[in-house]
Amino acid sequence: EDGYDLWLRYQPLESAAKARVAPAVRYFVASTDRPIIAAAADELKRGLAGMIGAAPSQREKIDQAGGILISTDEVAFEVAGRPSGLGDEGYAIRTRNVSGKPTIFIVAHSDVGVLYGVFRFLRLLQTGQSIDNLDIIDAPKLKVRVLNHWDNLDRHVERGYAGLSIWDWQKLPLHKDPRYVDYARANASIGINGTVLTNVNANADILRPDYLQKVKALAEVFRPYGIKVYLTARFSAPIELGGLKTADPLDPAVQAWWKAKIDEIYTVIPDFGGLLVKANSEGQPGPADYKRTHAEGANMMADALAPHHGILMWRAFVYAAENAEDRHKQAYTEFQPLDGEFRDNVLVQVKNGAIDFQPREPFHPLFGAMPRTPLMMEFQITKEYLGFATHLAYLGTMWEEALQSDTFRPARGSTVAKVIETPIDAGAATGMAGVANIGSDRNWSGSQFDQANWYAFGRFAWDPDAKAGPIARDWARMTWGNDPAVVEPVVGMMMGSREAVVDYMTPLGLGHLMATGHHYGPGPWVSDLARPEWNPVYYHKADAAGIGFDRTARGSDALGQYAPEVVEAWGNPETIPEKLLLWFHHVPWDYRTKSGRILWDELVTRYDAGVGAVGKMQADWDGLRGKVDTARWAEVRDFLAIQHQEATWWRDASIAYFQSISKRPLPAGHKPPAHDLEYYKAITNPYAPGQAK
């Protein structure tokens, strides 16, 4: 095994389970003349062939025991007891007797609902659950569940650590790599229903007719799996492709250009999903270049998409060179006043935190603050700031933490999950995007364990109220096997892994301390970059008096962008959760923390706890030798060794640097860094992949 099969390995069940299951899944009935139903039937055959050694046969009707009925028909609903609450994409899986013959019904109102139901049914078997007397109803809580590929047209993946882009533009449209089908299967299995193929730092060329033919070829592969394609649009495309003098959204010629371009896209791809735009952020062109607002820019494109039912995802990740305000505040400052000004088919896409996908950030203050604008969540699946693909960090716990944060807007209990799940009015769009960690590596994600983050993203996009633990458990069972002696340690490693990264990189609410360019190793001393907010020293503000960024009313007052309840709780160092302490407060080095230790000692203790947790993961993994296949086991072992070495690097470099400022001794029992600060400052990392370019 090399990881290519992801969580869809369909390994043989144990003989007892096989004997129990086989009689119940002997044949199926389905309208396989419909492409999505055919894909569902294929998956059912593939899964059962793998797990019980025999693919079910296809029959015309239910006429004997052991049938599976896959259907969207009224009569099937009737027999299945008219399950409600399925919506457009949900499904029910129910056992019913048909003329005395126990039959498994997988029913939905749409073909894609049926496909999701089949994957769910297979998951039951993959995770060792009973399929007797089934009664499952499930439906996605969000409408738009998309991956964002940061893939450039030359196949370099920005912040990608799994090889080249899987989109082989040179060979498309004539050659469609079979891998595209497996990509679609994997996504459909977790309910992802869209993919943005290209980088947010967009190249206008993707909108050229020749590229659109290639995009069309991908759309054809994905269509039977319920996956729509989307593209990123470069705001200045009317100039670059259209030869216009301006991209001003209020200019009629510009509007006409976008309308014609979007009409053209829909002629080529009738079910095209829509566009994603990064504008006036990190050098990208946008409406502000013409003194127009984000809403004016977005609405222009949204108007052109609307007749085709396309949506526009407009990113709120903005911070401007000329703006001296705390970077934490800038997106809110620019977007919140625009609440209610966006067209109905615009989703404003907001990162989980206000800075940038750090190992830990408080939730973004825009959530809950724009009640008249659909906000969609943007998570980063690729681990730009959490050790790339080499460090084991399961992000499910991070996403659960972000989604379960209470915005208190409009009232207690309005969690971020609730905010994004609740349409602003009937029928309005909702969504979640995940920056993909997929590349052309055999194992797709650059490491075995990073597949779990792709998997978990799909599950959270389906249900933002999901819990990280059960998702980790499902993934572990499907990916490594159902033996409890494997599942328990694997889940244990996963559940503690992100906190370990936080501890050895950015404990106690620190953030953005990484080295320049590659974002891999530590660089808390960096202070020479062009823009202040690119420098780690801007974020930790360590000085002789203490450490941390005062974002209370005494400081930048970024905290003031949150609801009063949050301001009250977080405005006081004694009541803010300690894990966010230094994000909002500048506290003295001898500040007394909850453990009774002074802050400096606590910081050192956390760094060591992080390194220690990686050592524990190594020991746990060593215990699994021989219990999982050798090739994948050995890869994980090696990566954990790299992680341990680099966690130690982070710990040592950070302690060496902060000690040069705190001027305090290390607490007893904690060993000094292996080298002096100059040594760590001199380390460059020319090998780090996936940098911006």
Chain residues in the site for ligand BDP (CB under 6 A): 158-159, 200-201, 278, 282, 317, 356-357, 384, 692
Of 151, 158, 356, 421, the catalytic one is 356
Of 111, 138, 334, 384, the catalytic one is 384
As measured in angstroms, the least distance from the Cβ of 409 to ligand BDP is 25
Give phi and psi for 202, each to the nearest 5. Answer: -85, 155
| H-run or E-run covering 92 | strand 91-98
As measured in angstroms, the least distance from the Cβ of 687 to ligand BDP is 18
- Pick 470 or 532: Cβ nearer ligand BDP: 532
CB 228 within 8 A of CB 272: yes
Residue 296: active-site member: no
Residue 401: active-site member: no
- Pick 158 or 601: Cβ nearer ligand BDP: 158
At 251, is the secondary structure helix, strand, or coil? coil
As measured in angstroms, the least distance from the Cβ of 358 to ligand BDP is 9
| H-run or E-run covering 315 | strand 311-315
Round to whole Å and give the CA distance between 124 and 140. 18
Distances (CA, A) of 411 to 400, 464, 546, 563, 572: 20, 19, 35, 9, 21
As measured in angstroms, the least distance from the Cβ of 367 to ligand BDP is 17
CB 107 within 8 A of CB 96: no
At 274, is the secondary structure helix, strand, or coil? strand
Parallel, antiparallel, or unpaired for β 27-29 and 67-71?
A: parallel
Tokens of 640: 């954990």
Residues 6+ apart with CB under 8 A from 331: 316, 317, 318, 319, 350, 354, 364, 366
Round to whole Å and give the CA distance between 496 and 480. 18
DSSP-assigned letter for residue 360: S
- Closest to 143 in 3D by CA, of 38, 228, 219, 200: 228
Tokens of 338: 């625009």
Round to whole Å and give the CA distance between 397 and 392. 13
Round to whole Å and give the CA distance between 466 and 227. 22
DSSP-assigned letter for residue 435: E
What residues are paired with 429 via a beta bridge?
none
Round to whole Å and give the CA distance between 125 and 108. 20
- Pick 569 or 692: Cβ nearer ligand BDP: 692
- Pick 165 or 448: Cβ nearer ligand BDP: 165
As measured in angstroms, the least distance from the Cβ of 132 to ligand BDP is 47
Give phi and psi for 271, each to the nearest 5. Answer: -105, 25
The dihedral of CA 546, 552, 557, 558: what is its sign?
Answer: positive
- Pick 356 or 463: Cβ nearer ligand BDP: 356
What residues are paired with 592 via a beta bridge?
598
Of 1, 42, 177, 282, the catalytic one is 282
As measured in angstroms, the least distance from the Cβ of 107 to ligand BDP is 40
Round to whole Å and give the CA distance between 172 and 185. 20
- Closest to 94 in 3D by CA, of 121, 57, 60, 66: 121
| H-run or E-run covering 346 | strand 346-351
Which residue, chain included where needed, has tokens 């991908």? 218
CA angle centred on 172, ends 450 and 207, rounded to 5° = 90
- Closest to 458 in 3D by CA, of 191, 144, 197: 191
As measured in angstroms, the least distance from the Cβ of 317 to ligand BDP is 5
- Pick 384 or 646: Cβ nearer ligand BDP: 384
As measured in angstroms, the least distance from the Cβ of 456 to ligand BDP is 20
Sheet holding 91-98, edge to edge: 57-58, 27-29, 67-71, 101-108, 91-98, 135-138
As measured in angstroms, the least distance from the Cβ of 534 to ligand BDP is 10
* DSSP structure string for 96-114: EEETTEEEEEEEESSHHHH
Question: What are the start-end ranges of the E strands in 354-464?
Answer: 375-380, 431-435
Residue 334: active-site member: no
CB 606 within 8 A of CB 503: yes
**b/e string for 385-410 if b means 16 or more Cβ within 10 A?**
bbbbbbbbbbbbbbbbbbbebbbbbe
Catalytic residue list: 282, 356, 384
